[in-house]
């Protein structure tokens, strides 16, 4: 596997490839990223993994400076799971002097993370559009853990007529149920176990739905009761939304219905989501 920093070199290495799979990341790879890379390697002739901690998607007071980084480890993991190229551009390459363009989002970028982190999805959409233009992949792979981000990226691809297939891949979880995230490295072992309360709360709402509850308020109250047992947790939002990320009041059908949560625990902001019904198709 080659480590490449130049967009010109990247394009040269991909000339003639019948298909290219692309896994964009901010590095500090974990098993969730590994699954994305494995799937990309199964479905494409060449696989590119990018590692770039994108400053545009971090707001004031967020963790840009302390975001975990370990390029050597990332190279090892990417190669083990089938990547051919690791693209690691410098910020000066992605955003050269005089760079002023940004994507402004409506639709799926509004509300939830968009409201809690102003400018975040603008930064995400801008860097993803640049990376897709640089790599020109056949398929690009994203985890469903960032459900709203996935919706934003699909909208950008549609709105800008990009010829790439966006592939969403299931969330990978620790045995406790905690969704894998590079930010989990901020926790102690005990804190990681306690952080699984987010997934337990969503499971409680799923179970209430399976037992016949159809009112969103009652389903979310069921989840809140679980969350109340963790005194260190500060809830940002908890929602039940449709496929367009709009709140649902009464569930007439489970297809597309999604539970979303964001909370701060031990100084770490976490997000998670689950389908309302595991048997329904989004």
* Beta pairing class for 258-265 and 46-51: unpaired
Q: Which residues contact 239 (CB under 8 A, 6 or more apart)?
A: 112, 220, 247, 259, 260, 261
In angstroms, rounded to a whole number, what is the distance separating the alpha carbons of residues 111 and 115?
Answer: 5
Asked if residue 219 belongs to a known ligand binding site, the reply is no
In angstroms, rounded to a whole number, what is the distance separating the alpha carbons of residues 107 and 155?
Answer: 8
Asked if residue 143 belongs to a known ligand binding site, the reply is yes
Asked if residue 29 belongs to a known ligand binding site, the reply is yes
In angstroms, rounded to a whole number, what is the distance separating the alpha carbons of residues 209 and 34?
Answer: 32
Asked if residue 146 belongs to a known ligand binding site, the reply is yes
Which residue, among 57, 54, 61, 65, has the nearest Cα to 26 in the 3D structure? 54
User: Helices 120-135 and 147-159: crossing angle, nearest 10°?
Assistant: 60
Asked if residue 183 belongs to a known ligand binding site, the reply is yes
Asked if residue 28 belongs to a known ligand binding site, the reply is yes
Asked if residue 236 belongs to a known ligand binding site, the reply is no
Asked if residue 41 belongs to a known ligand binding site, the reply is no
Residues tagged active-site: 33
Asked if residue 27 belongs to a known ligand binding site, the reply is yes
Binding residues for (R)-pantoate are: 57, 149
Binding residues for ATP are: 26-33, 143-146, 172, 180-183
Binding residues are: 26-33, 57, 143-146, 149, 172, 180-183
């Amino acid at each position: 596997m080659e480590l490449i920093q130049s967009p010109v070199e990247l394009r040269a290495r991909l000339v003639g490839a019948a298909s290219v799979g692309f896994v964009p990341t901010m590095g500090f790879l974990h098993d969730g990223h590994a699954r994305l890379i494995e799937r990309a390697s199964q479905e494409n002739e060449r696989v590119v993994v990018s590692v770039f901690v994108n400053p545009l998607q971090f707001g004031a007071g967020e963790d840009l400076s302390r975001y975990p980084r370990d390029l050597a480890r990332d190279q090892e993991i990417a190669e083990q799971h089938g990547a051919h190229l690791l693209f690691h551009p410098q910020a000066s390459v992605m955003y050269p002097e005089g760079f002023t363009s940004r994507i402004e989002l409506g639709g799926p970028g509004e509300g939830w993370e968009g409201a809690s982190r102003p400018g975040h999805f603008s930064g995400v959409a801008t860097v993803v559009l640049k990376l897709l233009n640089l790599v020109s992949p056949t398929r690009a792979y994203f985890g469903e853990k960032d459900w709203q981000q996935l919706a934003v990226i699909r909208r950008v691809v549609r709105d800008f007529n990009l010829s790439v297939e966006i592939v969403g891949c299931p969330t990978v979880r620790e045995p406790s149920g905690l969704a894998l995230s590079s930010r989990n490295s901020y926790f102690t072992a005990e804190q990681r176990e306690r952080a699984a309360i987010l997934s337990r709360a969503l499971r409680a709402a799923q179970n209430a739905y399976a037992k016949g509850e159809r009112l969103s308020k009652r389903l979310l109250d069921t989840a809140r009761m679980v969350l109340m047992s963790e005194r260190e947790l500060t809830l940002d939002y908890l929602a039940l939304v449709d496929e367009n990320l709009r709140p649902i009041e009464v569930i007439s059908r489970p297809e597309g219905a999604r539970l979303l949560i964001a909370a701060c625990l031990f100084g770490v902001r976490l997000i998670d989501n689950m389908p309302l019904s595991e048997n329904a198709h989004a």
